[in-house]
Amino acid sequence: MHMKKNFYSLIATLAFAAMPLTSSYAKPGANHQPIHFRKIMVVMFENMSYVEIKNEPTFKKLVEYTGNTLDENGRMLKMLKVGPAYDTNGNGYAFFSSYFNNHSGGSFPTRPSQPNYIAMTSGSVHGIIDNEIHNLKVDNLALELNEANINWKVYAEDLPDPTHAYLGGAEEMNTTISAHKPFVRDPNKSEEENDLAEQQYFAAFKHKQASSVSGCFEGDSHVDGPGSPDDGYKRKHEPFISYVSIQQNHESCERIMNASHLLQDIDNMADVNFYIPNQIHDGHNGTLEERVVNANAFLSKMMGTDPKTGEPLPDSAKAPFQKFMAQGGLLVLTFDEPSTTGNPARSVYTLLAGNMLNSSAYPDRSGTKTPV
């Protein structure tokens, strides 16, 4: 595929392809055309050009299933030695060989992170040029999915789960905060145990302070357990919380949850899903060497592959992303923007995966192959 495409239009198109799953399409007529995939999951990585991630084993192996690769200048090359076109679980792959994130056309990247995520889910950056907190009263993908009765969920690593503490409204919120008491250290516990308990105590309180009346966590950052919040969840990478229509809807807030729930939901996934890794797993934080290794390790774990070779492990079918694809799910792996500090190449790694894809049909410059 040779793509220069607005990511919002791509995701909106793919998302609404799931519409036959809604109740109004429960009994298709005799002329009903079969759908290409049942569900979709978009997985977001950060701040790397294709040339920086392309040699990491799992990222590289997934592209090789198409029988193609790219050179240092981003040109598509046919592999001299072509391996299997499908992985051991029967999934095919399609790689976007010329994919950029500029939201007004061309290949010059839009930065920083937050405008990319906002444009991806609403079709515009709405004047946002920073990573500060913004509350937007604009149309967005989540609202459109709600109105179309299409189920959706966001799985964000290190995100506090929606709270029910303030469903009584602002008056109850003010009463709860004013009654907050200081942490009391336990003399029967060690200094380290007390320090951890104190950190968790105040983290929980900050969570409540940052939660809306509807239960959404609206804070800037959070980390599960000890560690730097800057390595955990960042609001700038989870766009749906920036939309007022979502913030004010408790049911929508409950759809934005900690990624740990993925394993609970994996056998009964929503129609449209977003997976937001934390700032270590998405390749955002650290040196370039650390970032590519961390992103590859995360993807390998979720795909059930060997991080050193990219080859599927014997039990790869049990990996979360493999279980999702086994349900007829279309997996979209992409980055928000190309590198900011390393290779200046502007092409972004974006790949589709699923058992409905014919690896050998993409890309099809000659028009001789029909995509499945």
**pLDDT tens digit sequence for 218-248:** 999 999 988 899 999 999 999 999 999 999 9
- Interval 129-138 mean pLDDT: 95
Could you identify the residue written with the tokens 């390790």?
A: 297
Residues 6+ apart with CB under 8 A from 46: 113, 237, 279, 282, 283, 284, 335, 336, 337
Say whether 269 sits in a helix, a strand or coil: coil
The span from the CA of 272 to the CA of 151, in Å, is: 6
| Residue 1 confidence (pLDDT) | 40
- Give the global pTM: 0.80
| Residue 187 confidence (pLDDT) | 84
- For the chain, the average pLDDT equals 81
Report the percentage of the chain scoring pLDDT > 90.
54
Residues 149 and 271 sit within 8 Å (Cβ to Cβ): no
List b or e across 88-106, with b for residues whose CB sees 16 or more CB atoms inside 10 angstroms. ebebbbbbbbbbbbbbeee
- Interval 46-68 mean pLDDT: 91
Confidence grade of residue 166 (pLDDT, cut at 50, 70, 90)? very low
| Residue 175 confidence (pLDDT) | 36
Residue spans per domain, the chain: 7-24+34-162+232-361
**pLDDT tens digit sequence for 268-290:** 999 999 999 999 999 999 999 99
The span from the CA of 62 to the CA of 200, in Å, is: 39
Cα–Cα–Cα angle for 212, 218, 224, rounded to 5 degrees: 115
The span from the CA of 161 to the CA of 256, in Å, is: 8
Inform me whether the pLDDT recorded for 178 exceeds 50.
Answer: no
- Interval 47-53 mean pLDDT: 91
- Interval 149-166 mean pLDDT: 84
Say whether 284 sits in a helix, a strand or coil: coil
Inform me whether the pLDDT recorded for 154 exceeds 90.
Answer: yes
* CB atoms near residue 233 (< 10 Å): 25
222 is written with which tokens? 């959070």
The span from the CA of 323 to the CA of 327, in Å, is: 7
Could you identify the residue written with the tokens 């790694």?
A: 349
Inform me whether the pLDDT recorded for 291 exceeds 90.
Answer: yes
Q: How far is CA 156 from the centre of its chain?
A: 8
Instruction: Classify domain 7-24+34-162+232-361 at the CATH class level.
Output: alpha beta
More confident position, 319 or 95: 319
Rounded to 5 degrees, φ, ψ at 283 are: 80, 20
Residues 6+ apart with CB under 8 A from 161: 257, 258, 261
| Residue 70 confidence (pLDDT) | 66
Could you identify the residue written with the tokens 């595929």?
A: 1
